[in-house]
A and B are shown apart, each in its own frame.
Chain A
Amino acid sequence: MSDKDLGEKTEECLEILFRLEKNNKRVKTTELAEKLGFPPSSMTVLLQRLANMGLVNYEPYKGVKLTDKGRKVAIKIIRRHRLSERFLTDILGLDWCEVHEHACKLEHAITDKIEEKLDEKLGGPTVCPHGNPIPTPSGKIIFEEDVPLSELQPTDEAIITRIIDENPTLLRRLIAIGILPGVKITVKEKSPLGGALVLKIGDYEVAVGCDVASKICVKTSTPPHRYRHRVRRRAKKHSKI
């Protein structure tokens, strides 16, 4: 079966799976169902079907993982999604903040031919309007192992890689105060209950709310997978107190 015949829901499922899978771990079925807005029962059916097509590796109760073939399809859809976003902003003149939703619809209607023409018309863009990389036609994606700033803990040092937000007011505010890609930050404090952060940037301090922090991606010297353990260990320590 070629990927041209995949249904909209199936494509959406692969795309979201790819995003959730960032740390190369199995994704829980319930988590996936929640993101897709599916009832868990039909989720199982869909995953079983995808597994039969050789797109995912699915084991009930253990979770789901993309196969190499599945990953290729997912990357293709992401490419179409981000190209659609560029099309919507650059040619139709839509605003950043609204393109994501429209692109979610548009991406499934794009054929190989349209994809090629779109890429040509847009002049081969490398990033989407939000600054995320657009995969190349051969499926290569410049993949930076970054984590949201909101996952860091006090004393952590990191370099800002990108800001994933479509709100131009916030983006301008962040740039003005000196929070932009390439800048080195140190986490000075983190408040409990959700986690607003105090960052040290050069010689000054900036407080950012947890919602803002979750939109700023950073690269740390600590690999992301080690992060989870650290977070958990800290949580344990707190619960003992």
Chain B
Amino acid sequence: MSSSGHFRRPKEGSNVVKILLAGNPNTGKSVFFNRITGIGVIVSNYPGTTVELMEGRTKFNGREITVIDLPGTYSLGAGSMDERVARAAILEEKPAVVINIVDAANLERNLYLTLQLLELQTPVVVALNMVDEARKRGIEIDHEKLSKLLGVPVIPTIATRGEGIRKVVDTALKVFDRKLIIHPMKVQYGRDIEAIIQKLEKIVEERLKTFPRNMRSRAVSILLLEGDPEIVEEIRKIDEEVARIARDFARKIEELHGEPASLRIAKERYGVAHSIAKAVTTRYEKKVLLRDKLDILTTNIYTGFPIMIGVWISLFALLLYGGSFLEELIVFGWESYIAPLIEKELSYIIPNTFIYHVVSRGLILGLEAGLAVVVPYVTLFYIALAILEDTGYLTRMAYLMDNFMHKVGLHGRAIIPLIAGYGCNVPAIMGTRVLETRRERVLAAFLITLIPCSARTVVILGLIGQYIGLLAVLSIYALNLGIVAISGLFLNRIIKGEIVGLVMELPPYRIPHPVPVLKKTWIRFREFVYIAFPLLILGSLILSSLEYSGALQPIASLMSPIVVGVLGLPALTGITLFFGVLRKEMTLEMLIVIFGTTDFLAIMNITQMIVFTIVVTLYFPCIATFAVLGKELGWKTATLIAISTIILAIAIGGITNLILTHF
């Protein structure tokens, strides 16, 4: 994807049909989206947010259709960024039809969103999804009756098998073309609230000439009574008096019912959803499914933790063995076949030897660094993550880890990106998007940069593992975990901001569908390549020009007070740290190049090796990580984090050096 991708496109001919997919999380929305669209999916951030919207195009009965997958939300208030974006898209992307994907097994809660969609008075077609799963749970929905009650078409579907999807799209087309006229139900509130809504509606109609985003007066009135911050703000800008009157009315509701108006309205809307769901649902004897047993096993105190640790170990093993195997394969192929080819080609094009050396070395090392990290680790990790995500296991893990994460100012959901950090920091930092507040994201991202990724693991194993032993390796990991925990405790105190605790649905276990898994992997992979590759190449070009112009030596001597004085390392190792910025395991490779030996004991003693490893593990996150930090959190924060890690590395390295040389 391109980060600068624009959500708004130039105006198109009206013959392009626009379909928006709305629905709760875990309703099979993404499977549905993938069923309609092909591979050519555009992912773009909604302007000014980190919320992603997926957009695909397809042809149906000779018509061109644009499908936009809105973020999965439980409601359409202004509660979270996702909800704001979903609502904004529904109100602004016009003309369009909304396909509301509804989980048949959870009709009542899903209808809450449906009712809000109807209140916004947008054309809606309901896809009653996962009817097979509902049936397994002993739930049968009368979709014809549901359609009659809601006043919009309701079509039963099984998205995973593609059943009913054509019919949904076909119906949506008919609604778009106004060949099928729908008469959505009016969500009726209690008598007193209804009276207040109608009073406010009249005032709104009289006083306002234009409504924000072309909403109807009833929708505006209800949102005002609910105290929706976004709408209240917009109305206040148009007519302060209307906002004041609405607040008075809201207070009246509160007096009448003894609870805030927003809560009362939500409650009544749930009431409507409840009575509709009740009228159309028949329940049979419920079978206990295997997945329910699995659910109990994975969340139970006694079995949940061992299972979780098992999953972690498998994930690490996959990344460590599978990843490094793939990496070696790629590096071997690259160095023996492709790199010489590039060198040869470049030597024809560039006659100047200096520029030739800079460009060829820079290009080759940069691309190699990218390929060696991206292809094996990132891709493998993404696939594993997508599978864990789509089965529903990640949410259980977040639940189990919630209490631990609280200690460092995060909540359960942050465990996912933190673990991802052991594979590669870059996708891990992108993964912090699952966290709601900026505070949590900054905190989690900082901690991730301290976690030894697979590249750093290579250094730890190559130096400490080879020359000292397994116990020492484990102590390095333990020390690292300690540093992460202490940093977390410390940052928790200094970073200010809102904390929203864990509230998260645990969806029933499902077998992941391969298409969304692969598509998700592909989209994340593409994103990573866009961020990391240009910087890797640029970085290595700069580095190689420094190297060939002989500027590295003076820089190394500039660094020597720290490298030699504080850390007690050989002066030339400072240069290797420069290369480590590209890719951490290059520190080892550069040691070999600079010192001309593979016997590291000839270069450093045991103490120096330990200090070197600690410094490599902690100092400046590699350039790809830095890039993603900058993109996700802003360059100021990224620079601050980078500087802090350098200071931390020097401090911990220096202390270790002091302790080890004196005792």
Listed in ascending order, the chain A residues whose CB lies under 8 Å from chain B are 90, 123-127, 129, 131, 133, 167-183, 188-196, 198, 201-212
Q: Does B477 contact A (CB under 8 A)?
A: no
Evaluate contact between B270 and A180: CB separation under 8 angstroms. Answer: yes
A193 to B405, CA, bound (A): 12
Q: From B325-333, B393-401, B442-450, B634-642, give the one contacting chain A.
A: B393-401
Complex CA–CA separation, A55 to B83 (angstroms):
51
A207–B504 CB distance below 8 A: yes
B59-110 interface with A by 8 A CB criterion = 73-75, 77-80, 83, 105-106, 108-109
Contact B403 A208 (CB under 8 A): no
* B254 at the binding interface (Cβ < 8 Å): yes
Contact partner of B106 (CB less than 8 A), chosen from A169, A172, A204, A212, is: A204
CB proximity of B296 to chain A, nearest CB, Å: 8
Query: In the complex, which of the residues B73, B112, B299, B503 contacts A188, with contact meaning CB atoms closer than 8 Å?
Result: B299
Q: Give Cα A204 to B499, complex, Å.
A: 25
What is the CA–CA distance of A220 and B113 in the complex, to the nearest angstrom? 29
22 contacts between A and B (CB under 8 A): A123-B255, A127-B258, A169-B79, A169-B80, A172-B262, A173-B500, A176-B79, A177-B109, A177-B505, A180-B267, A180-B270, A182-B267, A188-B299, A195-B403, A202-B106, A203-B105, A207-B398, A207-B504, A208-B502, A209-B402, A211-B501, A212-B503
Are B266 and A175 in contact, CB atoms less than 8 angstroms apart? Answer: yes
Closest B-chain residue to A162, C-beta based? B259
B 131-172 to A, binary, CB cutoff 8 A, 1 in contact else 0: 000000101000000000000000000000000000000000
Complex partner residue of A194 from B73, B108, B406, B500, CB under 8 angstroms: B406
- In the complex, the answer to whether A202 meets B109 with C-beta atoms within 8 Å is yes
Which B residue's beta carbon lies closest to that of A204? B106
Q: In the assembly, what is the distance between CA of A184 and CA of B105, in Å?
A: 18
Complex Cα–Cα for A176 and B501 (A): 15
Asked whether, in the complex, the Cβ of B266 is within 8 Å of the Cβ of A180, the reply is yes
B263 and A180 form a contact (CB under 8 A): yes
Complex CA distance for A206 and B270, rounded to whole angstroms: 17
- Chain B residues at the A interface, C-beta cutoff of 8 Å: 73-75, 77-80, 83, 105-106, 108-109, 112, 137, 139, 229, 247, 251, 254-255, 258-260, 262-263, 266-267, 270, 295-296, 299-301, 304, 395, 398-400, 402-404, 406, 411-412, 436, 498-507
Which A residues are CB-close (under 8 A) to B502? 196, 207-209, 211-212
A172 contact set on B, CB distance < 8 A: 75, 77-80, 262
Identity of the chain B residue whose Cβ is nearest the Cβ of A97 in the assembled complex:
B498
Complex CA–CA separation, A190 to B300 (angstroms):
8
Given contacts A192-B301, A196-B403, A203-B137, contact A170 B503 (CB under 8 A): yes
| Pairwise interchain contact B270-A209, C-beta atoms closer than 8 A | no
Chain B residues contacting A178 (CB-CB under 8 Å) are 74, 109, 112, 270
| Beta-carbon contact of A189 and B300 below 8 Å | yes
List the 9 closest pairs (A to B, CB-CB), nearest first: A172-B79, A209-B502, A176-B75, A194-B403, A212-B501, A176-B74, A207-B399, A196-B402, A209-B501
Given A180-B266, A194-B403, A203 and B259 contact (CB-CB distance below 8 Å): no
Chain A residues with CB under 8 Å of B399's CB are: 189, 191, 196, 198, 207
By beta carbon, the residue of chain B nearest A133 is: B258
Are B255 and A125 in contact, with the CB atoms below 8 A? yes
Q: For residue A90, which residues in chain B have a CB less than 8 angstroms away from its CB? A: 247, 251
B402 / chain A contacts, CB cutoff of 8 Å: 191, 194, 196, 207, 209-210
A208 touches B266 (CB 8 A): no
**Which B residues are CB-close (under 8 A) to A212?**
501-503
**Cβ B403 vs Cβ A206 within 8 A:** no
The residue on A at minimum CB distance from B252 is A123
Residues in A with CB closer than 8 Å to B299 are 188-189, 198
Taken together as a complex, chains A and B put the C-alpha atoms of A129 and B250 apart, in Å, by: 12
Known A176-B79, A210-B406: A181·B506 in contact at CB below 8 Å: no
Partner of B503, one of A125, A179, A183, A202: A179
- Chain A at the B interface: mostly helix, strand, loop or mixed? mixed
Task: Return the contact of B406 from the options A127, A183, A209 (Cβ within 8 A).
Answer: A209
Q: How far is the CA of A86 from the CA of B258 in the complex (A)?
A: 13
Complex formed: what's the CA distance from A201 to B500 in Å? 21
Contact present for A124 and B255 (CB under 8 Å): yes
By a CB distance below 8 angstroms, the chain B residues around A126 are 255, 258
- B139: which A residues are within 8 A, CB to CB? 203
**In whole angstroms, how far apart are the Cα atoms of A196 and B406 in the complex?**
11
* A208–B501 touching, CB < 8 Å: yes
The CA-CA distance from A194 to B412 in the complex, in Å, is 13
Q: How far is the CA of A209 from the CA of B255 in the complex (A)?
A: 32
Report the bound CA distance from A133 to B267 in whole Å: 19
Beyond known contacts A172-B75, A205-B506, A207-B502: 11 more, CB 8 A cutoff: A167-B500, A173-B79, A177-B109, A189-B296, A191-B301, A191-B400, A191-B402, A202-B108, A208-B502, A211-B502, A212-B502
Q: Which residue of A lies closest to B300 (CB)?
A: A189
Chain B residues near A209: list those with CB within 8 A.
402-403, 406, 411-412, 501-503
C-alpha gap A211/B405 in the complex (Å) = 12
Complex: A206 Cα to B312 Cα, angstroms = 23
- Pair B259/A131 contact, Cβ less than 8 Å: yes
Which residue of A123, A170, A203 contacts B501 across the interface (Cβ within 8 Å)? A170
| A residues in contact with B412, CB < 8 Å | 196, 207, 209
With a cutoff of 8 Å between Cβ atoms, the chain B residues found around residue A181 in the complex are: 259, 263, 267
- Neighbouring B residues of A170 by C-beta, 8 Å: 500-501, 503
- Interface centre among A177, A196, A201, A202, by most chain B C-beta atoms within 10 angstroms, is A196
Among B83, B260, B263, B506, contact of A206 (Cβ-Cβ < 8 Å): B506
When chains A and B are docked, how far (Å) is the Cα of A19 from the Cα of B504? Answer: 31
Instruction: Using CB atoms, name the residue of chain A closest to B281.
Output: A203
Contacts of B112 in A (CB 8 A): 176, 178
List of A residues within 8 angstroms of B247 by Cβ: 90
Closest residue of chain A to B109, judged by CB?
A178
Asked whether, in the complex, the Cβ of A174 is within 8 Å of the Cβ of B503, the reply is yes
Query: What is the chain B residue whose CB lies nearest that of A90?
Result: B251
Instruction: Given A126-B258, A209-B501, check contact A131 B301 (CB 8 Å).
Output: no
Residue pair B75, A175 in contact (C-beta under 8 Å): yes
- In the assembled complex, the Cα of A208 lies from the Cα of B229 at a distance in Å of 25
Q: How far is the CB of A197 from chain B (nearest CB, A)?
A: 9
CA distance A174 to B502 in the complex (A): 10
Shortest Cβ distance from A144 into chain B, in angstroms? 12
- Chain A residue nearest to B266 (CB atoms) is A175
Q: Which of B79, B247, B295, B406: most chain A CB closer than 10 A?
A: B79
